[in-house]
Amino acid sequence: MHVVPLPALADNYIWLLHDDAGQAVVVDPGEAAPVEAALKDRRLQLRAILLTHHHHDHIGGVDALLARHAVPVYAPRDERIATATHRVGDGDRVALEQPRCRFEVIAVPGHTTTHIAYAGEGVLLCGDTLFSMGCGRLFEGTPGQMLASLDRLSALPGHTLVCCAHEYTAANGRFARTVEPDNAALAAREREVMSLRARDQPSLPVSLSTERATNPFLRTDSEGVIAWSRRQGIDGDRIARFAALRANKDVFSG
């Protein structure tokens, strides 16, 4: 399975997965044009659409794609996604024959209450829940919900490739450095990202093991994050530490 990030809108990635036989699935198509161009350039046949949540920059291109491709649309149980043909939730499995692939559906409330992720074929399609060195804003969920969601994703195998839906990595790294300035793995990841972005290359996908070593939102129990929290006057439990991280990131302008 080939995994391709398609830049879209301001800083989104639509994820295209395809096999060597020309069968493809797309994830969170916020607009149709990049998908249609990739299908044409790579001589692919679209077979399915997977959606993680209802925000327009993730579903805005679905109608236009369905006008040209009669394919199933897998989406969370959320009436705000009117184009869904298959509603899926936590513990469900999406099994496609073309391309042949299997994904486990994981409920990850936090960014929205009905957000889901798809894990399988060595990749994690996580929408706006997990970003490289960051996580999504809490528009509908609570800090406890988001932390529990991130815990579930972090427990996946370390070789899993994290396919986030936005190119936020450089900015996230700058915030992460204020939390753990002595984290050598974080410094190495920042150098890698700077090199990639200087060549206009995506910083994604990234291995989950790298995220566990560099992402403060996955490291609420680390010595570095605990020390940072104490400097902020937070001496509570891990949810309090996570909430402090998220609140500080919300106003960070570095």
**Residues annotated as part of the active site:** 53, 55, 57-58, 111, 128, 166
Question: Quick one: which of 83, 34, 25 has its CA closest to 54?
Answer: 83
Show the CA angle centred on residue 241, arms to residues 183 and 192, nearest 5°.
30
The number of beta carbons lying within 10 Å of the beta carbon of residue 91 is: 9
Cβ proximity of 116 and 107 under 8 Å? yes
- Structure-token match 């996908």, residue found: 205
Q: DSSP code of 166?
A: B
Distance of CA 194 to the CA centre of its chain: 20
CA distance to 78, 123, 177, 192, 193, per residue, from 204 (Å): 28, 11, 19, 11, 9
Q: Count CA within 13 A, CB hemisphere, residue 3.
A: 18
Answer yes or no: are the C-beta atoms of 7 and 34 closer than 8 Å.
yes
Contact 209, 215 (CB under 8 A): no
CA distance 180 to 158: 21
Contact status, residue 197 vs residue 161, Cβ threshold 8 Å: no
DSSP state of 61: T
